[in-house]
A and B are shown apart, each in its own frame.
Chain A
Amino acid sequence: MTFSHAVWLAVALPLAGFLVNGALALRRPRATGLVSVVGPGVLVAAFVVAAGIFLELWREPPHAPTVVSLWSWLPVGQLQVDLAFQVDQLSAVMLLIVTGVGSLIHLYSVGYMKADPGYARFFAYMNLFVAFMLVLVLGSSFPVMFIGWEGVGLCSYLLIGFWFNDKVNADAGLKAFIMNRIGDVGFLVAMFLIWRAFGSLDFTWVTGHAADTLAPGGAVVTAITLFLFLGCTGKSAQIPLYTWLPDAMAGPTPVSALIHAATMVTAGVYLVARTNVLFALAPVSSTIVAGIGALTALFAATIALRQYDIKKVLAYSTVSQLGYMFVGVGTGAYAAGMFHLATHAFFKALLFLGAGSVIHAMHEAYHATHSHEDAQDMRNMGGLRHAMPWTFGLMLVATLAIAGIPPFSGFFSKDEILSAAFARGGEAPIYYLFYAMGILAALLTAYYMARLMAMTFLGPNRTGERERTHLHEAPWIMTGPLLALGVLSTVGGALNLPHLVGGHSALERWLEPVLAPGLAVGRLSMPEGSTEYLLVGAAVAIGVIGLLLGFRATLGRGILPAREAPPDTGFALVLNRKYYIDELYEAVVVRPLLWLSRVVLWRGVDQGLVDGAAVNGAAWTSRVFGGGLRLLQTGHVGAYVVLFLVGALWILRAVIR
């Protein structure tokens, strides 16, 4: 018995937590003590299992994945899908991130959600989310992965709409699920095409036989990968399906940190890495992946420049950073994409949890004075570094990480993606454009993060005279996880230190067995020597410049509290209103669809054409033509029956003759 064979425990533990907390939520909502133990407890236990598996793989790196089959799920003729989990280097990394970061966020939530009447329900949903997320990363076939893929969507839906009595929150949950479902059509169709091409849906079979089954660059593999990527744009909030993620901030902040920053939204990146050989065989698709990624990275970063809600800034930042990851995997630098996934999980979870602490403090201050100001609007903050030094310091670490300042973790991962895109430019020049967009997005990233930090923590405080005295640092149960994430955000780059600074690209080598099929098709040659130094230098310079500009521009002008602030005008308004994309979707897709359904299909076809003209018309005709008979009838049914009998007999005669 090894840890790898007990991998089902990692799923079963949070699932058991869901059942216990769910039962408590229904029957004993006040049993918060038990919930506080079970909720984070099952996560920590799952993390132990994950760590055990990781160490096992570390000691003896396997060349083939360990597949643990629980039972036969869909045995239908040639199709044989087992409910099975796959342990290999890639799923082990995800397993560690999900349970590790998940544990920290669960602990934080004990403090953050303490006063909420839905405390038990919250942990039930969070536990269920982790269980599904682990099914997603561990599934050994496309359909099993899809259980997790949709399951995390369900939990996301439930947690975004957690405070469901507010219609805005319920709307946001609905929007998230529907947008994800649009992507899921892609995932489903991709599965059908894979089935048609391979006669199997198991990862080991598909990755093992892809190179012999599919023609490189052919229509089939291109279609498969594009449909898969459609799924990614939904789950990982890329253009054109990204608009649900900013709205998803309606959920409690730990949810934003766990689901909408660190884990679920990275599932698309994981999917591309998992199916790397398919994408490697489809250069056109890969270019589209990288292109959409670069475009999203830049586009979302511009929107982040003009948001006032602290969580909205971070949400667009997440969309933008996910774009980077897709640039990475679309370039063929799958390890770099996964590397950024890991570091981003650390620093973005830290940023969200830090923002949560800020909101928590703001909310309590306003609550104490019965004020109804917006606790998430950065224009109402300012100068919080005095009241919340720990939060400030730790969020500063995360800011430096995301801005790409060495030696913080984000520097290494982002630099690797950009360098890879630059290198790919040698053979496909459009990648130079993606590189340039990435660099520009990096500048904007540093800028909006500096703006966020300056508006929140620096300058004079704008919360209000009476409220100011109530602002204070969060309790240790919240600051503790922040500290752990701060450490990870700082040293996370060590996961995959490049040769340039004396590292050995540990993560890249670790993932080698899983990524080998893809790399065999299209290996990437990374820049070396002076080019490498130049690229690194440029990236660092861009980050520093962005930060300086951001701090200067924000501190240089007086900021008014939200209530007194003048409305944005011109391009600033366009950015603040997110380019009016939501309004565009509403006008072009949602309303016409409802109009088509209501006016054309229901009233027109159903009630007018079929019922009005055909059915009732037939009844009317039969009444008119059966005028003589009608007088004999006492009820309608008889009339119809006779008519139809006559008709039937007539046909009978015709057929027999």
Chain B
Amino acid sequence: MTQFLQSIHYGEWILHALIVLPLLGVVPVLLGDPKSARRTALVVTTLELVLSLGLWWALVPGQAGLQLVANIPWIPSWGISYRVGIDGISLVMVLLTTVLMPLSVLASWHYISTRERGFYALMLTMLTALVGVFIALDLFLFYVYFELTLIPMYFIIGIWGGTNRVYAAIKFFVYTMTGSLLMLVAIVVLVWKVQAATGQLSFAYEHLLRNAGAAGSAAPWLFAAFALAFAIKVPIFPFHTWLPDAHVEAPTAGSVLLASVMLKIGTYGFLRFAVPFFPGVALSPAVSALMVTLAVIGVIYGALVALVQPDFKKLVAYSSVSHLGLVMLGIWGGTMQSVQGALIVMISHGLSTGALFLLIGMMYERRHTRLLEAYGGIARVVPVFSLLLTVVAFSSIGLPGLNGFVGEFLVLLGSITAFPRATVIATTVVIFAAGYLLWAIQRIIYNRLDDPENERFGDLTARELAVILPLVVGIVWIGLYPAPILRRMEPATRQYLEATAVTRTGPTTALGVLRHVVEEARR
């Protein structure tokens, strides 16, 4: 495979192709017949997936650093260039995106029945933006892609969403905008500071990473701006309330992309930018304690609130807050195990939660409600649907042998040394996770079948199976044999750990931080 890829110079054009192809696809979608838009979108996204798979072999495993780097000057006078490249972390995030995109298109097949051209054009734009976010190595370029993901999602929720879609779309947009504008300011300041120190005006990632120390006393503020932007995206408690609204209102494809990929931009941002740029601030005892405390609150809080949701989609939305809290704990856990675990949780959550949203979409298309109380007893009527829902639910619960466990286990195992109490508290989430999901699926597929509407609930069609089964394969594969993925990510993770290695001293509890802050203020 590697030889074949070399013979076609795959590494030289692939990253550009992944960006350009979806944009090219927008043209026939917009110009064509509304009814054929979905087919065109499916072809383009599938082609994108096939092309992207080569990255798996093109990335040299075991080699640290960014690979396939390409640099095209863009606005030279401002030091901005079109600079892209990948490492193991970007690789898995890009693949997660390209895998989920054709499935999302397929899931929208009947769900989207108005203004199809607009919808699929936005989906393809979204694909470009999401891939761009994960491969951008120029801070300005990253910012452009970061914002570009926002606009299609805003319209997807606002136009094809549920009854309360406008409120949800605006809430989503404003929330994210708040953070990202602050981040833009921080990027510009960082670039100026680095220019002042090195004499070179450049937005290039590696250049800034090497010289981020020049931020000096501004570092805490810059970190805060980056962190806020990403914290809202993740979302970290208490910046999460846009998420349930956005999910409930978004059409299935929107929910899938939002949960599976867009949330990961936040955690990816912490791993790629916020922490490596300012490790002295990010991993200082006070900030660590704050982040870990918020992470663990998110883990437990998300699970408990999920427990009492009457709407299945909202339940899954809150469960995302819980899962992403684990990712944050893993990032701050600061060991090979915890960071690798955080990355696996990011992938696993993408697969499992994506699959859950897809299944919820299938339920909604049949019964036009997501309220748990409307269902019950359908396991007898639709065994295949019930089986798949059960498998996906257990993967999300973290049953060992399926994907969810691998990440969860590694995060907690790796965090025990630095944050023993937080880890033990976070571990109790395995109880609540089983609680909210199993209770939900009991109310859907078990119990008495007393609504005749549910008697007519048809089992999955071939198209729907084609949407779900690839994800189930991924769920089992990562659960049983995650080694190839772990090995590909390990050099990047090791590099991240080396770049951010700081000694930890001082307070590591919320109370300790409070005391610390008060003491600082007194001085």
Could you give 17 example pairs across A and B, Cβ below 8 Å?
Answer: A75-B486, A78-B336, A143-B409, A165-B380, A167-B446, A174-B438, A178-B438, A188-B409, A593-B307, A598-B308, A601-B304, A615-B241, A619-B174, A637-B173, A640-B170, A644-B178, A651-B185
Cα–Cα, bound, A640→B486 (Å) = 42
- Which one of B7-15, B69-77, B135-143, B394-402 is at the interface? B394-402
Q: Is B50 an interface residue (CB 8 A)?
A: no
Known contacts A25-B383, A181-B434, A185-B430; A72 and B483 CB within 8 A of each other: yes
- List, in ascending order, chain B residues with CB within 8 A of A164's CB: 377, 379, 445-447
B434, A177: Cβ atoms closer than 8 Å: yes
- Which one of A253-261, A266-274, A606-614 is at the interface? A606-614
Interface string of B336-377 (1 = CB under 8 A from A): 110011000000000000000000000000000000000001
B189, A76: Cβ atoms closer than 8 Å: no
Tell me if A's interface is mostly helix, strand, loop or mixed.
Answer: helix
Query: Which 3 residue pairs across A and B have the least CB separation, nearest first?
Result: A77-B336, A170-B446, A164-B446
Q: Report the count of interface residues on A (CB-CB < 8 A).
A: 69
Known contacts A170-B442, A189-B427; A73 and B481 CB within 8 A of each other: yes
Interface string of A166-179 (1 = CB under 8 A from B): 11001101100110
- Which one of B52-60, B97-105, B111-119, B416-424 is at the interface? B416-424
Interface string of B465-507 (1 = CB under 8 A from A): 0000000000000001111001100100000000000000000
Cα–Cα, bound, A404→B482 (Å) = 50
A73, B427: Cβ atoms closer than 8 Å: no
B residues 383-438 near A (Cβ < 8 Å) are 383-384, 387, 394, 399-401, 405-406, 409-410, 412-413, 416-417, 423-424, 427-428, 430-431, 434-435, 438
Q: Is B449 an interface residue (CB 8 A)?
A: yes
Cα–Cα, bound, A77→B493 (Å) = 10
Cα–Cα, bound, A652→B222 (Å) = 10
Q: Is A485 an interface residue (CB 8 A)?
A: no
Contacts beyond the supplied A185-B431, A601-B304, A655-B221: 20 A-B pairs with Cβ under 8 Å? A26-B384, A73-B480, A73-B483, A150-B405, A151-B400, A170-B446, A174-B442, A184-B430, A189-B424, A195-B416, A597-B308, A606-B241, A609-B238, A610-B240, A611-B241, A619-B174, A640-B177, A644-B178, A651-B182, A652-B188
- List, in ascending order, chain B residues with CB within 8 A of A83's CB: 480
Interface string of B272-315 (1 = CB under 8 A from A): 00000000000000000000000000000100110111000000
Q: Is A594 an interface residue (CB 8 A)?
A: yes
- List, in ascending order, chain A residues with CB within 8 A of B447's CB: 164-165, 167, 170
Cα–Cα, bound, A596→B303 (Å) = 12
Q: Is A147 an interface residue (CB 8 A)?
A: yes
Q: Is B448 an interface residue (CB 8 A)?
A: yes
Cα–Cα, bound, A652→B448 (Å) = 61
Out of A174, A181, A648, which one reaches B430, CB within 8 Å?
A181
A161, B446: Cβ atoms closer than 8 Å: yes
Q: Is A193 an interface residue (CB 8 A)?
A: yes
Cα–Cα, bound, A205→B75 (Å) = 59
Q: Is A602 an interface residue (CB 8 A)?
A: yes
B427, A75: Cβ atoms closer than 8 Å: no
Where the two chains meet, the residues of A that have a C-beta atom closer than 8 Å to any C-beta of B are 25-26, 71-79, 83, 143, 146-147, 149-151, 154, 157, 161, 164-167, 170-171, 173-174, 177-178, 181-182, 184-185, 188-189, 191-193, 195-196, 593-594, 596-598, 601-602, 605-606, 609-611, 614-615, 619, 636-637, 640-641, 644-645, 648-649, 651-652, 655-656
Cα–Cα, bound, A609→B301 (Å) = 14
Distance in Å: Cβ of B416 to nearest Cβ of chain A: 4
B residues 174-222 near A (Cβ < 8 Å) are 174-175, 177-178, 181-182, 184-185, 188-189, 192, 218, 221-222
**Contact residues on B (Cβ < 8 Å of other chain), bracket:** 35 or more
- List, in ascending order, chain A residues with CB within 8 A of B457's CB: none
- List, in ascending order, chain B residues with CB within 8 A of A193's CB: 416
- List, in ascending order, chain B residues with CB within 8 A of A596's CB: 304
A594, B483: Cβ atoms closer than 8 Å: no
Distance in Å: Cβ of A272 to nearest Cβ of chain B: 21
Distance in Å: Cβ of A13 to nearest Cβ of chain B: 18
Cα–Cα, bound, A413→B222 (Å) = 69
- List, in ascending order, chain B residues with CB within 8 A of A649's CB: 185
Distance in Å: Cβ of B139 to nearest Cβ of chain A: 16
Q: Is B171 an interface residue (CB 8 A)?
A: yes
B305, A147: Cβ atoms closer than 8 Å: no
B174, A188: Cβ atoms closer than 8 Å: no
- List, in ascending order, chain A residues with CB within 8 A of B377's CB: 164-165
Cα–Cα, bound, A83→B412 (Å) = 20
- List, in ascending order, chain A residues with CB within 8 A of B380's CB: 165
- List, in ascending order, chain A residues with CB within 8 A of B305's CB: 597, 601-602, 606
- List, in ascending order, chain B residues with CB within 8 A of A648's CB: 181-182, 184-185
B439, A174: Cβ atoms closer than 8 Å: yes
Known contacts A147-B401, A637-B174; A76 and B409 CB within 8 A of each other: no
Distance in Å: Cβ of A145 to nearest Cβ of chain B: 10
Distance in Å: Cβ of B61 to nearest Cβ of chain A: 13
A166, B182: Cβ atoms closer than 8 Å: no
> Which of B221, B340, B400 gathers the greatest number of chain A CB atoms within 10 Å?
B400
Cα–Cα, bound, A165→B445 (Å) = 9
B304, A597: Cβ atoms closer than 8 Å: yes
Known contacts A178-B438, A648-B182; A601 and B301 CB within 8 A of each other: yes
Out of A149, A157, A166, A610, which one reaches B448, CB within 8 Å?
A166
A79, B430: Cβ atoms closer than 8 Å: no
B399, A151: Cβ atoms closer than 8 Å: yes
Closest to B415 in A: A192
Closest to A656 in B: B189
Closest to B450 in A: A165
Closest to B310 in A: A598
Closest to A151 in B: B401
> Which of A25, A83, A147, A596 gathers the greatest number of chain B CB atoms within 10 Å?
A147
A185, B416: Cβ atoms closer than 8 Å: no
Closest to B181 in A: A648
> Which of A76, A149, A644, A656 gathers the greatest number of chain B CB atoms within 10 Å?
A76
- List, in ascending order, chain B residues with CB within 8 A of A619's CB: 174
Closest to B433 in A: A181
B406, A74: Cβ atoms closer than 8 Å: yes
Cα–Cα, bound, A651→B183 (Å) = 11
B171, A652: Cβ atoms closer than 8 Å: no
B446, A165: Cβ atoms closer than 8 Å: yes
Cα–Cα, bound, A651→B179 (Å) = 13
Cα–Cα, bound, A428→B55 (Å) = 65
B486, A74: Cβ atoms closer than 8 Å: yes
- List, in ascending order, chain A residues with CB within 8 A of B446's CB: 161, 164-165, 167, 170
B400, A610: Cβ atoms closer than 8 Å: no
- List, in ascending order, chain A residues with CB within 8 A of B413's CB: 79, 191-192, 195
Cα–Cα, bound, A206→B184 (Å) = 51
Closest to B192 in A: A656
Out of B383, B394, B401, B406, which one reaches A26, CB within 8 Å?
B383
- List, in ascending order, chain A residues with CB within 8 A of B170's CB: 636-637, 640
Closest to B303 in A: A597
Distance in Å: Cβ of B218 to nearest Cβ of chain A: 6
A644, B177: Cβ atoms closer than 8 Å: yes
